[in-house]
């Protein structure tokens, strides 16, 4: 599955990051702005959620039969975001080997992925922890 090609992500214009060290990005479009002329919280959330899924699918690329679904999210908006917004992700309180073992034993698991968003000056504008339910099809 290519997260970028999901209909909603195409609709809002998510892209792979053009900046090294980041996963995905939202371009600098007026459609993303709120009444304060900063990037709307929902646009940032959409980028963060897609980045978590993108990270998982890349980390487990050898498993072609998994489906990740968000169960719970904890989010903090740290600074107003302007311009292009970039994402990074990593496992949170989880080790990849543990996840693989559980998936192989039970066919499903839950895990957490920390996602951070940054503006063009590399200032962190949002941080989240997504809890994912992952199952084998």
Domain ranges of the chain: 3-136
β-strand partners of 110 = 133
pTM: 0.94
Sole residue written with tokens 């311009």: 83
Tens digit of each residue's pLDDT (9 = 90 or more) over 62-92: 888 889 999 999 999 999 999 999 999 999 9
Return d(Cα 74, Cα 48) in angstroms, integer.
Answer: 11
Average of pLDDT values for 90-118? 93
Return d(Cα 129, Cα 122) in angstroms, integer: 19
Task: Name the CATH superfamily, with its identifier, for domain 3-136.
Answer: Hotdog Thioesterase (3.10.129.10)
Other C-beta atoms lying within 10 Å of the C-beta of residue 20: 5
**pLDDT at residue 50 greater than cutoff 90:** yes
Residues contacting residue 11 through CB under 8 Å, at least 6 positions apart: none
| Helix (H/G/I), strand (E/B), else coil: 35 | coil
Residue 14's DSSP bridge partners are none
């Amino acid at each position: 599955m290519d997260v970028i090609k999901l209909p909603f992500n195409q609709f809002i214009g998510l892209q792979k990051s053009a900046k090294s060290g980041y996963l995905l990005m939202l371009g600098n479009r007026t459609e993303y702005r709120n009444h304060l002329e900063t990037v709307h919280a929902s646009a940032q959330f959409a980028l963060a959620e897609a980045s978590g899924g993108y990270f998982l699918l890349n980390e487990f690329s050898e498993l072609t039969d998994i489906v990740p679904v968000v169960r719970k999210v904890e989010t903090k908006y740290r600074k107003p975001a302007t311009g292009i917004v970039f994402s990074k992700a990593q496992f949170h309180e989880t080790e990849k080997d543990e996840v693989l073992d559980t998936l192989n034993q039970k066919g499903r698991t839950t895990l957490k992925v920390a996602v951070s968003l940054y503006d063009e000056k590399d200032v962190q504008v949002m941080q989240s922890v997504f809890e994912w339910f992952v199952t084998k099809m």
